[in-house]
Amino acid sequence: MESGIALQLAQTLLAVLAAPLLMGWVNACRAWLSNRSAPSLLMPYRQLRRLFHKDVVLANQASPLFRLAPYAIFACMVLAAGIVPTLMNDLPFSPAADAIALVGLFAMARMFQTLAAMDVGTAFGTLGARREMFVAFLAEPALLMVFFTASLIARSTALPTIVDVFAHQRFAIYPSLAFAAVAFWMVSTAENARIPVDNPTTHLELTMIHEAMILEYSGRHLALIEWAVALKLFTYSALGIALFLPWGIAPVGDWTGLPLALAALTLKLAMGGFTLAVLETLNAKMRLFRVPEFLGTAFLLAVLGMLVHFLLEV
Q: How does DSSP assign 33-69, residue by residue?
A: HTTSPPPPTTHHHHHHHHHHTSPP---TT--HHHHHH
Q: Would you state the pLDDT for residue 205? A: 67
- For residue 209, the enclosing domain spans 2-313
Best CA proximity match to 164, nearest among 252, 99, 260, 263: 252
How many distinct structural domains can be found in the chain?
A: 1
**What long-range pairs does 293-298 form, CB within 8 A, spacing at least 24?**
294/186, 294/190, 294/196, 294/197, 295/135, 295/138, 295/139, 295/142, 295/186, 295/187, 295/190, 296/138, 297/186, 298/139, 298/142, 298/182, 298/183, 298/186, 298/187, 298/190
Contacts of 22 (CB under 8 A, 6+ apart): 230, 233, 234, 237, 269, 273
Low-confidence residues of the chain, pLDDT below 70?
1-2, 94, 170-171, 205-206, 314
Q: Would you state the pLDDT for residue 111? A: 94
> Is the separation of the CB atoms in 80 and 102 below 8 Å?
yes
Phi/psi at 11 (5° precision): -65, -40
CA distance 310 to 152: 9
- β-sheet bridge partners, residue 250: 88
Q: Note if the bond before 92 is cis, omega within 30 degrees.
A: no
Contacts of 106 (CB under 8 A, 6+ apart): 76, 80, 140, 191, 232
Output the pTM of the full model. Answer: 0.94
> Is the separation of the CB atoms in 89 and 163 below 8 Å?
yes
CA distance 238 to 213: 26
Q: Where are the alpha helices (DSSP H) in the chain?
A: 2-33, 43-52, 64-83, 99-119, 123-154, 159-168, 175-191, 210-213, 219-244, 258-282, 291-308
CA distance 152 to 156: 7
What letter would DSSP give residue 314?
-
Q: Would you state the pLDDT for residue 1? A: 59
Q: For residue 185, give the amino acid letter.
A: W
Q: For residue 35, give the amino acid letter.
A: N
Q: Would you state the pLDDT for residue 270? A: 95
Q: Would you state the pLDDT for residue 170? A: 62
